Amino acid sequence: MNLKFKNLKINKKHIILSLFALSINQLDAQKTKPYVSEVWVSDLGNGNYKNPVLYSDYSDPDAIRVGDDYYMTASSFNEAPGLPILHSKDMVNWKLVNYAIQDVLPKEHFSVPRRGDAVWAPSIRFHKGEFYIYWGDPDFGIYMVKTKNPLGKWDEPVLVMEGKGLIDSCPFWDDNGDAYLVHGWAGSRAGVKSILTLNKMNSEGTKVLYKGVHVFDGHDAHPTVEGPKMYKRNGYYYIFAPAGGVATGWQLILRSKNIYGPYEEKIVLEQGKAKINGPHQGAWVDTPKGEDWFYHFQDVDAGGRLVHLQPMKWEKDWPVMGIDTDKNGIGEPVLTYKKPNVGKVSNRNACRI
């Protein structure tokens, strides 16, 4: 055989093998490379992030940390499946991983389109090894679902409190195991709004026991106060609540040494001179490294309600959110900031929108 021809055949074989190996490597790289949105990426890749962290319609978000995992849910109204479950490892990159409900109840009622009804402003909590989500249906009452595995099947919804106009509910288990439920009111159904009501529940969180107590009336200074989230820190009971309306509102904080009040009040986040309108309604979340952060939404009309993340700290037992740029004692939302310090992060979930 001609030596030149033999070398040509060998080289051709090497080229084919090289191309095959390259294609295999590319396939492997595609499998291991995390998905990154081509539309919007909040993670700037340099240790900072830009808002919104979710450029998508996740209305009335609530979030928690369990260990080094972060979970978020949001209003889903009459859509099914509903109550989206999002997961993150770093608080900035989120992935949609599940839904907590497959049908909206009652099925017969929602067998026809009822746009904007059903699942309003849910709260997600972790208690004694189980995940709970509570939400208010303005026509039927307050429901709850729970599970031990947020990525698996959730239990069937339980009607915790029946009634019309009951919305924006949040459970709270005190240090002694007593369970409470705080909620707002829909003026369109109840004929009254701008009031927050606290109810006692059984320890399982499946039923309200007594008639509730109105713990805050926002008619004078905080109209449309709603979406309450309850926490406890340093002996204070806190209610984080948005007020002032969806597109133009502010974030209000209430605190008291007695769970039934009276509550002191303080506005801690407002638009001010920032470009982010109505920065309110969301969740306080801490990191294993001791940092505090606040999620909230921004209403952008037909674009939905986008999720933002604000730095947060505590001063004299009041939360301080965002940056107080005009020095009036009230924070304003940031557009870019240093990412949360969550410790070592593995298997990062890039934002899917």
Question: Active-site positions?
Answer: 60, 226
Q: Which two tokens stand for residue 38?
A: 């081509």
Q: Alpha-carbon distance 138 to 245, whole Å?
A: 18
Q: Across the strands, what pairs with 48?
A: 338
Q: Which two tokens stand for residue 53?
A: 């962290």
Asked if residue 65 lies in contact with residue 292, where contact means CB atoms within 8 angstroms, the answer is no
Q: Alpha-carbon distance 93 to 191, whole Å?
A: 40
Q: Alpha-carbon distance 337 to 44, whole Å?
A: 10
Asked if residue 241 lies in contact with residue 208, where contact means CB atoms within 8 angstroms, the answer is no
Q: What does the radius of gyration of the chain's CA atoms come to, in whole angstroms?
A: 24
Residue 211 φ then ψ, to 5°: -65, 140
Residue 103 φ then ψ, to 5°: -135, 155
Sign of the CA dihedral with 65 first, then 58, 224, and 118 last:
negative
Q: Alpha-carbon distance 332 to 326, whole Å?
A: 9
Residue owning tokens 């926002």: 218
Instruction: Quickly count: other Cβ atoms within 10 Å of residue 350's Cβ.
Output: 17
Instruction: Quickly count: other Cβ atoms within 10 Å of residue 115's Cβ.
Output: 8
Residue 293 φ then ψ, to 5°: -140, 160
